């Protein structure tokens, strides 16, 4: 529990500094277990409404400052969304972006979407609802997961390398099931604000 307290303190500082578009980033202590913390981000939208995003998050074992997140948004029926957030990066947001998720030697490959949050790049997995639920179930029963974000280079590029890899990270999943379930329950109990 001593580690969890120090981890919560470190994550709260990271979230409040690294997420400038968020009006409020609050830790959810009741959704924080082992290597994972629960967080709710309240984001001010252009139409004047607020978007609430409940997330279970972990930092990687290899200390490269990336974050693995399983998020739930009430406005979107609390369907799980898996993201990897990384500082900086050298990829562009087009159709050639992929996020690979490794469970031991088994891997799943998804199309990725790139978004920016201050200096951070946010790589969201693009998948059907059923694929997201399946991925979440795989995360629930695994001890660790490795992610790799890459982009296929233009076929006409003058290089032997056909891929640009932004980064690879390995995350502990100790506590992820409990943290994800608790943040999902927060999402399901939340009533989204009306659109203006």
Question: pLDDT of 122-146, one tens digit each?
Answer: 889 999 999 999 999 999 999 999 9
Residues 184, 157: contact at Cβ < 8 Å?
A: no
**What is d(CA 45, CA 49) in angstroms, rounded to the nearest whole number?**
5
Q: How far apart are CA 78 and CA 94, in angstroms?
A: 26
Among 69, 22, 13, 67, CA closest to 183: 69
Closest CA to 189 of 35, 29, 44, 54: 54
Residue 19: per-residue pLDDT:
38
Question: Token pair for residue 160?
Answer: 């032997």
Q: pTM of this prediction?
A: 0.79
Burial per residue of 64-85, b for 16 or more beta-carbon CB atoms within 10 angstroms, e otherwise: ebbbbbbbbbbbeebbbbbbbb
Determine the Cα–Cα distance for residues 116 and 108; give it in Å rounded to an integer: 24
pLDDT digits (tens, 9 = 90+) for 17-46: 333 355 688 999 999 999 999 999 998 888
Residues forming beta bridges with residue 194, ordered by sequence position: none
Give domain 2-189's CATH architecture: Sandwich (2.60)
Report whether pLDDT(5) > 70. no
Burial of 8 (0-12, 13-18, 19+ CB in 10 A): middle
Q: Which pLDDT tens digit goes with each residue over 70-114?
A: 999 998 899 999 999 888 766 666 667 889 999 988 999 999 888
Domain ranges of the chain: 2-189
Do 151 and 91 meet the contact criterion of CB atoms below 8 Å apart? yes
17: Cβ–Cβ under 8 A, 6 or more apart, which residues? none
């Amino acid at each position: 529990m001593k580690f969890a307290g120090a981890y919560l303190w470190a994550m709260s500082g990271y979230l409040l500094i690294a997420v400038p578009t968020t009006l409020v980033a609050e830790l959810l202590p009741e959704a924080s277990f082992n290597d994972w913390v629960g967080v709710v981000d309240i984001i001010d939208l252009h139409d004047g409404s607020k978007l609430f995003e409940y997330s279970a998050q972990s930092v990687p074992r290899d200390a490269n400052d990336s974050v693995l997140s399983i998020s739930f948004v009430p406005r979107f029926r609390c369907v799980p969304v898996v993201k990897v957030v990384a500082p900086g990066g050298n990829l562009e947001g087009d159709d050639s972006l992929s996020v690979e998720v490794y469970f031991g030697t088994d891997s799943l490959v998804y199309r990725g979407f790139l978004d920016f949050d201050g200096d951070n790049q946010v790589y969201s997995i693009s998948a059907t609802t059923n694929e997201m639920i399946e991925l979440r179930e795989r995360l629930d029963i695994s001890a660790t997961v490795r992610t790799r974000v890459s982009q296929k280079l233009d076929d006409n590029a003058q290089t032997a390398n056909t891929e640009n890899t932004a980064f690879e990270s390995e995350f502990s999943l100790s506590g992820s099931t409990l943290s994800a379930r608790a943040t999902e329950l927060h999402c399901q109990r939340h009533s989204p604000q009306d659109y203006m």
